[in-house]
Amino acid sequence: MTVTPHLASDSAACCWIPLFALRCETARRPELASLPLALLAPDDTRRLWQVAPLARRAGVKPGMTVSQAIGLCPALKLCEPDPVHYDEQFARLVAALVTVSPVVEPVELGRAYVGTDGLERLYGSPQQIVKEIQMRSAECGMRNFSEGSFAPRASLIHSAFRIPHSALRVGWGRGKFVSWVAATRAKPGEAVIVPVGGEAKFLASQRLAVLPLDPDTHRRLLQLGVKTLGALVALPEEAVVSQFGRAGRRLWRLAAGLVSEPVVGRVVPEPIVAALTFFTPVGDRDLLAHALDKLVDRALGDPRRSGWRVQVVRVHAELEHGASWLVAATLKDPAATRERIAAPLKTQLERSPPAGAVERLVVEFTAFAPGTAELQLFARDAGAAARAGRRRALQSAAREIALRIRRPMLYHVIEVQPWSRLPERRYALIDFEP
């Protein structure tokens, strides 16, 4: 396994298929398309995850409990989630996008960015690039969402559902944020193209909710009468920074079209996979946790992992009656020990166990980090690592305070004349510089 340089692109096309998982279900079971349908959440089957438009019209919303939803819509059809299948279908879409550009960045199920720098030499104008993306996506080996017929999972390798032009929305612009907002404004099956230099004009009329806001910041901005990005940009940048700190500066610059976050493509490393098939389906959590430990150990022992730490790990299970269960974890600090890798997976196993007995359990290491890090070079024990982490947090907080107040407010006490009888002479205050 070798280090591969990252690929980046300033111009971006955002490809978005809303309710992707729900569309996967109606693709393999077309009879569900005409019903008020809702998918149960993979991590909590007592709540809804994705809700079809027919059910929304009856007042059903994502996040509702099953009892609340059925009370509003007695005819609601509930569907068990099959996250492994959704992941497989999304991987097909990403593979189709890679045939257009080598710079592809998946973000979430049903949404991915395509870097388009240099593609004008192959395809022409942005309109022609978008047309190529739509055509390749529609030809990625998937049947129509509304016209496909049911096929067992084994046959999906050769025949899955097509993505119709009525499902895919595409936005093109400079940077990921502009292209994402453009995609949300595109009609189903169409595209919105934001010309270079026209970002500020396009964004000015957009609602505040398109920004990556936490609920508290959103509420405070609405209380200030800020409802659009244009209204936010009309405020002085420094005034927004003084209220919201570094996050406020980023939000203001996003709204003004001054931030162009590039699409970052990475050559996908060859994943390390360890699998275990049970002769008798297993439903006991302790047995599953034990099997999980064994699989993590087996994957860690793969020679390809030598010199690398694990950053992203997934575990999925094939259940009785064709259902599935999927959990993924991104480790904040990449690890190479079973305890640290398996811990988040076991937590998810306890919180949201599989809905049925497990026939096959699979662990995958899908992303890696180099085997040494700056912190490891100097931190000889866990205490030193913890102190280093606290210092980084202190430095970050100090920079945030200086950014908001624009003058030093933090001081460091140093010993000057420890022999003096006067306390004022023993110590002195100096500016704290992170």
pLDDT in tens, 45-73: 889 999 999 999 999 999 999 999 999 99
pLDDT of residue 133: 93
pLDDT of residue 267: 58
Judged on CB neighbours under 10 Å (0-12, 13-18, 19+), 383 is exposed
Q: Encoding tokens for residue 119?
A: 């593609």
Residue type, 132: E
Residue 396 vs residues 96, 142, 390, 402, 403: alpha-carbon distances, Å: 41, 47, 10, 10, 11
pLDDT of residue 403: 72
Q: What does R_g of the chain's alpha carbons equal in angstroms? A: 26
Distance CA 398, CA 327 (A): 37
pLDDT of residue 406: 66
The Cα diameter of the chain in Å comes to 90
Are residues 183 and 16 in contact, defined by beta-carbon separation less than 8 angstroms?
Answer: yes
| pLDDT, tens digit, 9 for 90 and up, residues 190-209 | 999 999 999 999 999 999 99
Residue type, 177: F
pLDDT of residue 422: 80
Distance CA 315, CA 87 (A): 12
* Strands (E) located in 95-152: 104-108, 111-115
SS3 state of residue 360: strand
Distance CA 361, CA 208 (A): 43
From the list 364, 363, 357, 365, the residue with the least C-alpha distance to 278 is 357
Q: DSSP letter at 228?
A: B
pLDDT of residue 1: 41
Are residues 62 and 42 in contact, defined by beta-carbon separation less than 8 angstroms?
Answer: no
Q: What is the pLDDT along the chain (434 residues), one digit of tens a residue?
A: 444 446 889 999 999 999 999 999 988 888 988 999 999 998 888 899 999 999 999 999 999 999 999 999 999 999 988 888 888 888 888 888 989 999 999 999 999 999 999 999 999 999 999 999 998 888 764 433 333 333 333 333 333 444 444 689 999 999 999 999 999 999 988 999 999 999 999 999 999 999 999 889 999 999 989 999 999 999 999 989 988 888 899 999 999 999 889 998 865 557 899 999 998 899 898 999 999 999 999 999 888 777 778 888 999 999 988 889 998 888 878 888 899 999 999 998 988 888 889 999 999 998 887 664 444 444 444 455 556 666 777 777 777 777 777 666 777 777 777 778 787 777 777 776 66
Are residues 17 and 109 in contact, defined by beta-carbon separation less than 8 angstroms?
Answer: no
- The DSSP string of 159-223 is ------TTT-EEEEEESHHHHHHHHHHSPTT-EEE--TT-HHHHHHTSBGGGS---HHHHHHHHH
The H or E element spanning position 183 is helix 176-185
Judged on CB neighbours under 10 Å (0-12, 13-18, 19+), 350 is exposed
Q: Encoding tokens for residue 432?
A: 């704290």
Are residues 263 and 113 in contact, defined by beta-carbon separation less than 8 angstroms?
Answer: yes
pLDDT of residue 169: 94
pLDDT of residue 387: 61
SS3 state of residue 129: helix
